[in-house]
A and B are shown apart, each in its own frame.
Chain A
Amino acid sequence: MDASEAREHLELVERIIAQSAQRLHVGAEFFLVWGLFGATCDGLFTAAESGSISTGVTLVAYAVLLLAAVAFSVLRARYYRECGERMSLLQREYLNVLWLTIALATVATFTTFNIFSSVVARGSLWSFAEAIVLFYVGMHGNRRAQIGGIVILASLIAANFVPFPGAGWILAAGVLLGYAGFGAAELIARE
């Protein structure tokens, strides 16, 4: 083997590893579903707090949506384990961070309601959790995730300066564009 062949082989290896690290091979639909869930909840609770819909309806809708998102995630994860074509090590880490932040945000929502007592505070909690996942994925070179994380962070900062109910709607829009939008963009890119 000569030097030019050696260079060619090393470039091949570098290219494959770089592509593999940036790609979200599976799981984009989790971002889409949980982004839609988060944005809908932000919207529902904001509407309920401002008196547009009743609290009872909001709580029932929240429970149904949460169960639907969890059921989808469990079934889809099982499908990937049994029928998927590949699972990268980084991919597994992405999904671990995703589940960890969702679990922590859920636990915090149900157990620290006196600390995060307002709709905006609870919405911000979810936005922070979602921004962490996106920046984690973004740290490994995924531009779409970086943009999604920046969108959510910008929505948090904007919501800080806008009175309720505007703040609630801004958080909902941030999650919809940043989190669900990232999932949709990854799905489109995968096609």
Chain B
Amino acid sequence: MNELLLSKIRLGIIAELLSSDWIAFSALQRALETTNGNLGAHLSKLLDAGYVAEEKTFVDRRPQSRYRLTNAGRDAFSAHVRDLQELLGASGAKE
């Protein structure tokens, strides 16, 4: 099981990015209903792992951070979902 994706917020970030070309920090924050600091901390872990790429731009002279899912992030997410499904399948078989 991928330890990094055991957090619901980090899993949510990846799921939001999965079907997106890119998402701005503010949109991610609204979608996941979390605070600036919390989202920033989780994003930096995903950035360090190479699962997410960051792009800085300026909108109306204000900085905007945009995030994209990398191929490594996509692969990690697929493997993690597979692990979760296997865990569910195994627990179902036990019952």
Residues of A in contact with B (beta carbons under 8 Å apart): 1-3, 6-10, 12-13, 16-17, 20-21, 82-92
Contacts and interface: CB of A to CB of B under 8 A. Distances in A.
Given A12-B12, A16-B12, A82-B59, A89 B19 contact: yes
B15 A13 contact: yes
A73 B84 CA distance: 44
B27 A86 contact: yes
Interface of B is mostly: helix
Interface residues of B, number: 27
A20 B87 contact: no
Contacts of B59: 82-83
A61 B16 CA distance: 44
Contacts of B15: 12-13, 16-17
A20 B28 CA distance: 12
B42 to A, nearest CB: 14
B8 A9 contact: yes
A86 B19 contact: no
Interface of B: 1, 6, 8, 11-12, 15-16, 18-24, 26-27, 31, 57, 59-60, 81, 84-85, 87-88, 91-92
Interface of A is mostly: helix
A142 B16 CA distance: 18
Contacts of A17: 15, 18-19
A10 B81 CA distance: 7
Nearest to A82: B59
A85 B28 CA distance: 9
Nearest to B67: A86
A13 B11 contact: yes
A12 B24 CA distance: 20
A88 B19 CA distance: 6
Contacts of A13: 11, 15, 81
Contacts of B91: 2-3, 6
B22 A10 contact: no
B88 A87 contact: no
Contacts of B27: 85-86
